[in-house]
Structure 1
């Protein structure tokens, strides 16, 4: 009896040790496949010094298919040129018809089929690197490594200066000609000066901004001197297809690093856009990482936002025809608009007697309404230049120059009918058109937005036009049974040559 108790105790202790070993390892091992962190429902485990991972997680990520025969307890993994046959519990798998030996067999753990990572990855012609200190495993394919190697030098980090200091949030860019860098709109917006940083740490000065496209989040910047870095090729892509793969170049100090992105789906917002996402943790320190296809063509950018519910958003590269003529131009012939300048060169007329660019004292002199509130950089009036049913708000920049103004109709909303609201909208639109011309965007019917019905007219300046953004809006606030009419002006600065 005593001996039996000892044997039972030893057996239990052995099971506890094995169980503890497996789960301890599961909590510390992280697997990356072609730069992308893998999230498995059954974490990796170790047995006899070998790391096991879920079979579908590793095989499908490497482009292989998996066939599981439940009755025979066998697994077949296939990709072009390779067929792997494994049986649960067997240490003798077959690769392309040839038997081989492994230390740890495929097995079932918590309902998941687990296989030796290194054996499967190397059989599928991928390389495996293990960092024993950090417990990080990196699995990479030859094709992935070659795409990264051929393109990482073309990927740069864009630094801009704002308010006399380097902005703390740089973004990514790519060399598209010896003289030009394609980057994000946000990387160039409000830049008072700029430079790019190459993957080797060298910095090159930017001469100025050639053009900007806020809708597509793109900007074109000119280098002060041509570079010898080979430019990227590019392929405009109207949309991504589910399952489509691309290699994003993630810039980091001391060199760039690639991450393979697989598009897993899209979300369409009516009248706005379709956004594409990959189910993966957010892995990009800097927004705008360029995405290359298998032929090294630039096809998209990692979007500015990510990490929500382990989704990384990506956007296709739009048509660049309007900028293509710049790519073949001689350096000296490419003209820029310099850098950001906050103040208008001259006062900008509005549909009232006030102009953007006026000083606070000038506004106080011309605005004859009742002053409701005054702060160091803002004024609010009732019974203003538009009449007794309006509130006016005037905002000033740090130099106390008027750069934002809005007028809100404060008549008894509950007594205004939809017809009256539409007539007021048409009258204001006509008055605004007399000053600013035809609006670039116009809603001809009511649109439902965020619980409200609304109509808008928008006057939007082109890049570097010294004109204000003007918005006319009428909102039917359904839940409050009220209408709101507003005219909004805003001047966001312009770009001027510094030489």
Structure 2
């Protein structure tokens, strides 16, 4: 009886030691277990080389390559940013990309889904990431953050970028504002913007939300967590809006001057 009990205890001890050994190996830097885990995560976002063309105000925008990642177009940040007239920089120590255009500065850290826009954190569809040793970013985000409209022609598979530019007096005619949806509320819900400005709604909640104008002038799609949609306000006026699934308490107002 004592021998049987000793055998059971010994077997349990060996099993525990084996489990702990495997667990330690799986968390050891550089081990095959970690590499397999990283490969599994990488496979979640499938990178498909894109054949889409891009134009800026009707003229071709030359890019060596672009990729579709989860159905979103990612482009090499330097070529794209310089193509739309921005200044670019890269800090290797922090792996941070900086893009400057007019008075706006955007910083994106490789691997992060949050961008820093003039000191304000803004969510993106996907993180800036390295592909073939080059940094790729979400094209729509980087365009719209600088007030550039993005129009897609499905027949020709062309992404048309339309820049508002400046007025004859040299003043900027289009600006971009951000409304984050978080905690079942429009965090920057009551804002004042200039006519011609674009407002980007970004959902940070785990449930879907949208923005619907009371007068029917605009309605975004139901946005899942991390998704964004932009609305451009051409005419002055007051635009009250709500979230359709939570219209009793999620409301906001945009005043356009």
Q: With structure 1 as the length reference, what TM-score do the two structures score?
A: 0.25
Larger Rg: 1
User: Higher RCO, 1 or 2 (CA under 8 Å, sep at least 6)?
Assistant: 2
Structure (1 or 2) with the greater strand fraction: 1
